[in-house]
Each structure stands twice: as structure tokens, then as C-alpha cells.
């Protein structure tokens, strides 16, 4: 099942549910990509990453982008692209105070975001879920669709501020350029962990992907995110296991293997320590 | 304060006390949808929908000075 909705202001939404797909193209507009179940494997600038339902990806206009879906169960992808004027106007209103708006500056910059994975939660999730369910029901009202898209950008800017701007402030380097470069590399580290969370990955692997030494990675990662890369990995595994307990009928042992834990007993211990409930009790509580 | 129960949907009362509110909160499943629907039917809103700690909301007034808040409650802790 697939539908494409193109609006008169060039905003575009594509929803697709498929087991097999292969796309390769130059991404001509700012795009936010979501996956509602399953995984989409992507590649930008020779960098591979995977979009899971708890993350979304942002791709700038002009980037070479390819993606692949190969799954037994259908994967539902949802991508939102913004027309150039829509995003320029939004960016202009958002980044300028009211005073400079009144000064009527003609410069309309195009934004450049860090192309990576961001957490898909909170208001962004609520708004995108509303938009999707409305479109699934056949919504045609462009004003309402654009309102959802406006809020989607608003939510994204807030997430960007939290995930990028606020993290930059936490890094202790004096030069702004250094902080930016280090955060970019830490973003690569996080992206790598998120995409390979169920593999047996080592600190050396992560450091290599991020082009940082192991010591440097450990120190700066903790500075920015307040947890170690290993703690980040364990949290990710636990959260994704929680989702699998909730949405699938896989056995506990299968889930332990799927999210990359080696033994069930340490998984159960960590799960209980983190969520104050055992995995099976949690599953039971979600069934009721 | 009187809370709406299953039988009471909107409570109207005379203003007897000074600190009595004339705000009416209407809960919504989808605030943006309601906002656009009412806007296209001529309701004038002072602002755009705004995020509160309990969810998304939008405010408007009727010609008699009653103040309405449409609130879509969102549970941000749900997993």
C-alpha cells in the first residue's frame, strides 16, 4: 500500500507499507523520515544507518540518499518533505526576533541541519501520528495538513535545540568550531550505536566510526549526554526490548537475542533495575 | 469548583464570587483538527495552538466574554 500526497505549496508526504523496496535518489527537499514498524536501512554520503520506530532521520535538500527495506513483515515508512518556501519562511520566523521581522530583512536563508537520527517522542510523535491517521482516512484539507506540517517543524526545531544546541553548550572546549566538530562526531557515534544496537559492538568500533580515540570518545560522550556510550547502548536495548514485549508475541529468550543481550538472566536483572518491573510482568500488565 | 461528571457536560452559573473563573475547558482528541475546523468556520483565535505541560491547547472567546480552552491532553510518560 502506498500513497503520495503533494500539496500546492510543494509540501509532500509519502506513506508506504512494503516488505521489499530499494530507493536511490538525490533528495530534492528537506525531508523527515519515520518508520512505524520494522526498520529502514539508509545510506547518506557512504554512511549507513537504520531508522527504527523510536527514531526519525532528517535529510537536507541536495543530499544523495538511498534506502532499503527487506523484511518478512511489512514495514510502514512515512516521509515528509517540505517545499523550499515553506521551510524558508518557517526558518525565518523561527530564528528571528519580532523586532528584526519588522525590519523586513529580505535575506531568507536555507537551514542546514545535522543529518542524523533524532529521538521520535513527545509532541512530534503525537502530531505525526495524528497526521498519519488523518491521511490514512483520506484527509484532503490542505490547510489542516499544512498545520500539522508546521507543528512537525516546530517540534523538530525544539528537538534540534535539545539534541544539538544544548549539547554544544555542555562540551568544555573553548572554540565553538571544535565543539561543533566534536558534537558531529558524537552524533556519528550515537547513530552507529542506534543502528547496530543488537550486534556485538565494542568501544573501539564506536570510536572508529566517530573518528575519535577511545579516551576522547568516553570523555566527550559523557560530557554531552551525561551517560557513557555503554550505558546509552544498554538503555537502547532495554527500551527496544520493552517495545517488543508490548507489540509482539516473541518469547523472552527470542527478545533477549533480538536486542543483542547475551544471557536472559542479566537482561531480566537490568530490566527490573531500570523499570522496576520484571519483563514478563510488564508484558502481562500491557495485555490488560 | 464543580467538576464535569457523566451527566454534566457544561456547567453554567452566575458569577457570584470575584475569583470565579469564566474559562471553559473543552477536551479534544486532536487539537489541531478542531482548531482548523473552527477557524474555517469563522472563529477568531488570538494565538496559534500552544504547548503546555499537559498537552496541546488553543484559546478563544465568544462575543459574551466567555473564555474557551480546547485542550488535547497528552501523556508524555506513556511508553
CB count in 10 Å sphere of residue A65: 21
Residue B17 to residue A222: CA distance in whole angstroms = 55
What is the biggest distance separating any 2 CA atoms in chain A, rounded to whole angstroms? 64
Closest Cα in chain B, distance from residue A144 (Å): 6
- Mean pLDDT is lowest, of A117-131, B3-17, B42-56, for B3-17
Whether A40 and A77 have beta carbons less than 8 Å apart is answered as yes
Residue A253 to residue A196: CA distance in whole angstroms = 19
Q: Do A127 and B76 touch (CB under 8 A)?
A: no
B43 falls within a domain = yes
Whether A113 and A183 have beta carbons less than 8 Å apart is answered as no
Q: Which of A41, A70, A71 is nearest to A57 (CA)?
A: A41
Which of B:45-64 have CB within 8 Å of A? 49, 51, 56
B37 falls within a domain = yes
Q: Do domains A172-226 and A232-287 have the same CATH topology?
A: yes
Q: Which CATH number is correct for A2-120, 3.30.43.10, 2.60.120.810, 3.40.50.1860, 3.30.465.10?
A: 2.60.120.810
Q: Give the total number of structural domains in chain B.
A: 1
Residue with cell 525565518: A92
ipTM above 0.95, yes or no: no
Is the predicted pLDDT of residue B19 greater than 80, yes or no? no
Q: Cβ of B35 under 8 Å from any chain A Cβ?
A: yes
Average pLDDT value over all residues in chain A: 92
Q: Quote the cell numbers at residue A181.
A: 566538530
- Give the 3-state secondary structure of residue A95: helix
Q: Cβ of A169 under 8 Å from any chain B Cβ?
A: no
Residue A21 to residue A68: CA distance in whole angstroms = 6
Per domain, the residue ranges of chain A are 2-120, 172-226, 232-287
Domain that holds residue B41: 23-73
Residue A64 to residue A43: CA distance in whole angstroms = 8
Q: What is the pLDDT of residue B1?
A: 44
Determine the residue among B32, B70, B78 to mutate to test chain A binding: the one whose Cβ has the most chain A Cβ atoms within 10 Å: B32
Determine the residue among B28, B34, B35, B36 to mutate to test chain A binding: the one whose Cβ has the most chain A Cβ atoms within 10 Å: B36
- Write the DSSP symbol of residue A161: I
Q: Do B33 and A122 touch (CB under 8 A)?
A: no
Q: What are phi and psi of A146, to 5 degrees?
A: -65, -30
Which CATH number fits the domain that encloses residue B53? 3.10.180.10
Residue A79 to residue A33: CA distance in whole angstroms = 4
B13 falls within a domain = no
Q: Which of A47, A52, A20, A18 is nearest to A33 (CA)?
A: A52
Whether A161 and A154 have beta carbons less than 8 Å apart is answered as no
B53 falls within a domain = yes
Q: Is the pTM of this model over 0.95?
A: no
Note the pLDDT tens digit of each residue in B67-78: 899 999 999 886
The CATH code that applies to domain A232-287 is 1.10.10.60
Q: Which segments in chain A show pLDDT lower than 50?
A: none
Closest Cα in chain B, distance from residue A134 (Å): 9
Q: Cβ of B74 under 8 Å from any chain A Cβ?
A: yes
Where does B19-70 have alpha helices with state H?
A: 31-40
Fold (CATH) for A172-226: Arc Repressor Mutant, subunit A (1.10.10)
Amino acid at each position: 500500500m502506498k500513497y503520495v500526497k503533494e500539496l500546492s505549496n510543494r509540501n509532500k508526504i509519502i506513506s508506504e507499507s512494503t516488505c521489499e523496496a530499494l530507493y536511490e535518489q538525490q533528495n530534492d527537499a528537506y525531508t523527515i523520515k519515520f518508520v512505524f514498524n520494522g526498520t529502514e536501512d539508509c545510506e547518506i554520503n557512504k554512511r549507513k544507518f537504520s531508522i527504527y520506530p523510536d527514531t526519525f532521520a532528517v535529510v537536507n535538500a541536495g543530499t544523495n540518499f538511498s534506502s532499503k527495506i527487506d523484511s518478512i513483515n511489512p514495514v510502514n515508512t512515512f516521509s515528509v518533505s517540505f517545499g523550499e518556501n515553506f521551510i524558508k519562511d518557517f526558518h525565518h520566523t523561527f530564528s528571528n526576533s519580532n523586532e528584526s521581522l519588522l525590519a523586513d530583512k529580505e535575506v531568507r536563508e536555507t537551514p542546514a541541519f545535522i543529518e542524523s537520527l533524532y529521538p521520535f517522542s513527545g509532541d512530534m510523535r503525537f502530531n505525526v501520528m495524528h497526521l498519519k491517521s488523518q491521511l490514512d482516512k483520506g484527509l484532503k484539507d490542505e490547510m489542516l495538513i499544512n498545520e500539522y506540517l508546521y507543528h512537525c517543524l516546530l517540534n523538530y526545531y525544539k528537538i534540534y535545540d535539545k539534541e544539538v544546541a544544548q549539547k554544544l553548550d555542555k562540551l568544555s572546549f573553548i572554540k565553538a568550531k571544535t565543539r561543533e566538530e566534536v558534537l558531529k562526531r558524537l552524533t556519528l557515534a550515537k547513530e552507529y550505536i542506534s543502528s547496530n544496537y543488537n550486534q556485538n559492538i565494542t568501544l573501539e568500533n564506536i570510536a572508529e566510526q566517530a573518528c575519535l580515540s577511545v579516551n576522547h570518545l568516553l570523555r566527550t560522550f559523557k560530557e554531552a549526554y551525561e551517560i557513557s556510550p555503554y550505558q546509552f547502548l544498554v538503555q537502547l536495548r532495554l527500551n527496544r526490548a520493552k517495545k517488543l514485549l508490548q507489540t509482539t508475541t516473541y518469547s523472552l529468550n527470542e527478545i533477549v537475542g533480538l536486542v543483542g543481550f547475551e544471557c536472559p538472566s542479566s537482561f531480566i536483572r537490568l530490566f527490573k533495575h531500570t523499570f522496576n518491573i520484571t519483563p514478563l510482568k510488564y508484558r502481562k500488565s500491557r495485555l490488560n | 469548583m464543580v467538576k464535569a461528571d457523566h451527566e454534566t457536560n457544561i456547567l453554567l452559573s452566575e458569577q457570584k464570587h470575584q475569583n470565579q473563573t469564566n474559562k471553559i475547558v473543552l477536551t479534544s482528541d486532536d487539537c489541531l483538527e478542531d482548531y482548523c475546523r473552527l477557524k474555517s468556520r469563522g472563529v477568531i483565535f488570538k494565538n496559534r495552538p500552544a504547548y503546555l505541560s499537559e498537552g496541546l491547547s488553543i484559546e478563544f472567546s465568544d462575543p459574551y466574554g466567555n473564555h474557551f480552552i480546547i485542550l488535547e491532553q497528552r501523556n508524555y510518560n506513556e511508553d
